[in-house]
Structure 1
């Protein structure tokens, strides 16, 4: 089979995405705010940080991570952000598995994203490996009025640390949106053994959501992230209280749109041949009500599963994400996760 040059594939990828979304975007005159989340799979710089466990991502480390590989990865991420936006890039992008502000600044200032003026919400998290959570946004579309980095507390181990939850209170048009970006503890060591970490993250998030709702019962809330768990899992359903279906009996008022995507066969991450939906979009039921300046519906949430982000799954069947590493072997792709996104609609739609 003839091998298609990677550059040609990328150009076709961008052309098709922009063409489709240009037609789509120009047919609507009302405001449309696209927000995406992307686990970018270990976006590290090649320098050794003595305070972090990042030795493997250095030129002499086991992954032989170099400046050129970092720049190629940053360029790949830029292309994905542009492709997800289509007609114009998303107004907000939640990111996880980024090492520090240095790589973020290169992404928004040293790629063609620079012309859109993205600003960064980020700080170094207490994660021992050095991977952080961040939010970038376009200030001409979104006015950030408040930001907070919420530390996850582990009741059974005060010395334990993980990524913080990034919170931003934003003004879009004349309405306020509360955004949370998450990267919950992984299943390393086994699902049951590690579950307490995700329950702790869920409690932390729920407490913040509840505190907002005390003062603003109809607050529009958007929760995005890599939860390292499925929509039907205990931390998400029982602890956070996110409901899997639209129902008047949802006591938390949080609706998991990704549960509906999963029921339709979508997935964002493939593990041992099975697609899972660990990258999720959860909204407050107030966002699903017409009449507010900002509103949406379940059909406005999706996984960006463009074929250029996939490759044939030679071990199992179908396709898998075209990732940067397979084990410790450099593979040169985008990420081991697919992006997810949602459109929020302006008044009148």
Structure 2
């Protein structure tokens, strides 16, 4: 963690299956019950909530992150477990969440400090495939809000469909997600070409995959930025790091990303970002020796059905926003 804390910090974290221990008859959560295949107990649940809270506090530096995007949380009860049954109970976070149609019951959510962010509009974008009106996956969360610096931010929290069954076989689902997100982004730009947009999430695709580079049109950051274009900061981070946010069969990959509009990099307002301002949070306690391949890997909660006692199979990412006068930092 850098010693110099930015003016505004946004965290995104895929927390790897944060389920409570209660049965939800409308969701496929049976394996995460005390009598389920993973023997998910109250003690394990409490420990995981404490671990997530530890990460949030550590990422904040000398102040907690102003905004937190989360995915793979089961419901609002688990969010309360993070916020009110851990040392974070003294923090002043508010929750934006709703139950999604995801068949496993995992959702996305946004937490925010009520004196640093003021929501103006919230929308859950329903993702469907092949013309169907029925959805079986989590929505994309959109929140428009004002910061304490009077900047207006358009925030999106994503957890796109997985690669289960194969990357190519499942690609149409992520292309649908990218189309849905792009349509909303275009509607925002049509109203304001200098809109400050921040897209965060686990996209289950890499920055150079078609869904992100072609359909969403998120470009590699360069030296000049167009206000109403999108730029994938993860592609910059990927080139300058030996590890990434996720490791699969011994290969690190940047599934977790921040994508921003050029207006945020052109100092249109008080807060701004530069490509170097996206960071991977990878302290030693979030990693372990990779005995199957080489190097290290995320210290996760489960390996298959075996309880491993770690944090998550993803590493957190965070984005620093600086006041325009501090752009030299």
Normalising by the smaller structure, the TM-score range is: over 0.9
Aligned to 1:238: 214
In the alignment, the residues of structure 2 paired with residue 157 and residue 147 of structure 1 have an alpha-carbon distance, to the nearest angstrom, of 24
Conserved? CA contact 1:241–1:252, under 8 Å: no
Residue 346 of structure 1, CA deviation: 2.0
Q: Please give the root-mean-square deviation of Cα atoms over the aligned residues, in Å.
A: 1.5
Residue 155 of structure 1, CA deviation: 2.8
Aligned to 2:280: 303
1:282-339 residue CA offsets vs partner (Å, 9 max, x unmatched): 0000101135211011111111011110000011110000000001100000000000
Aligned to 1:269: 246
- SS of the residue corresponding to residue 348 of structure 1 reads helix
Conserved? CA contact 2:282–2:315, under 8 Å: yes
Equivalent residues, number = 324
Aligned to 2:110: 135
In the TM superposition, structure 1's runs of 4+ consecutive aligned residues that sit over 4 Å from their partners are 247-252
1:73-118 residue CA offsets vs partner (Å, 9 max, x unmatched): 0000000000111111100000000000001012112212121210
Conserved? CA contact 1:268–1:275, under 8 Å: yes
Listed as ranges, the matches of 1:121-160 within 5 Å are 121-160=96-135
- SS of the residue corresponding to residue 48 of structure 2 reads helix
Q: Are 1:204 and 2:187 matched, yes or no?
A: no
Listed as ranges, the matches of 1:298-337 within 5 Å are 298-337=275-314
Residue 147 of structure 1, CA deviation: 1.1
Q: Which has the higher helix share?
A: 1
Q: TM-score under structure 2 normalisation?
A: 0.95
In the alignment, the residues of structure 1 paired with residue 223 and residue 130 of structure 2 have an alpha-carbon distance, to the nearest angstrom, of 32
Q: TM-score under structure 1 normalisation?
A: 0.90
- Counterparts in 2 of 1:38 and 1:249: CA distance versus 1, 3 Å: closer
In structure 2, list runs of 5 or more residues that go unmatched.
none
Conserved? CA contact 1:153–1:204, under 8 Å: no
Conserved? CA contact 2:246–2:313, under 8 Å: yes
In the alignment, the residues of structure 2 paired with residue 271 and residue 227 of structure 1 have an alpha-carbon distance, to the nearest angstrom, of 15
1:192-232 residue CA offsets vs partner (Å, 9 max, x unmatched): 11000000100110011110110111000000000000000
1:132-191 residue CA offsets vs partner (Å, 9 max, x unmatched): 000000011111111111111213544342111111111111110100000000000111
Conserved? CA contact 1:323–1:334, under 8 Å: yes
Moved more, 141-150 or 92-101: 141-150
Conserved? CA contact 2:250–2:293, under 8 Å: yes
Residue 263 of structure 1, CA deviation: 1.4
Conserved? CA contact 1:62–1:328, under 8 Å: yes
Q: Are 1:62 and 2:37 matched, yes or no?
A: yes
Aligned to 1:293: 270
Aligned to 1:348: 325
42, 45, 50: which is aligned to 2:25?
A: 50
Residue 347 of structure 1, CA deviation: 3.7
80, 84, 89: which is aligned to 2:55?
A: 80
In the alignment, the residues of structure 2 paired with residue 145 and residue 250 of structure 1 have an alpha-carbon distance, to the nearest angstrom, of 26
Conserved? CA contact 1:241–1:251, under 8 Å: no
1:216-252 residue CA offsets vs partner (Å, 9 max, x unmatched): 1100000000000000000001110000232658796
Moved more, 284-293 or 92-101: 284-293
Q: Are 1:116 and 2:78 matched, yes or no?
A: no
In the alignment, the residues of structure 2 paired with residue 236 and residue 334 of structure 1 have an alpha-carbon distance, to the nearest angstrom, of 27
Moved more, 149-158 or 285-294: 149-158
- Counterparts in 2 of 1:153 and 1:252: CA distance versus 1, 3 Å: farther
Conserved? CA contact 2:74–2:105, under 8 Å: yes
In structure 1, list runs of 5 or more residues that go unmatched.
1-16, 26-30
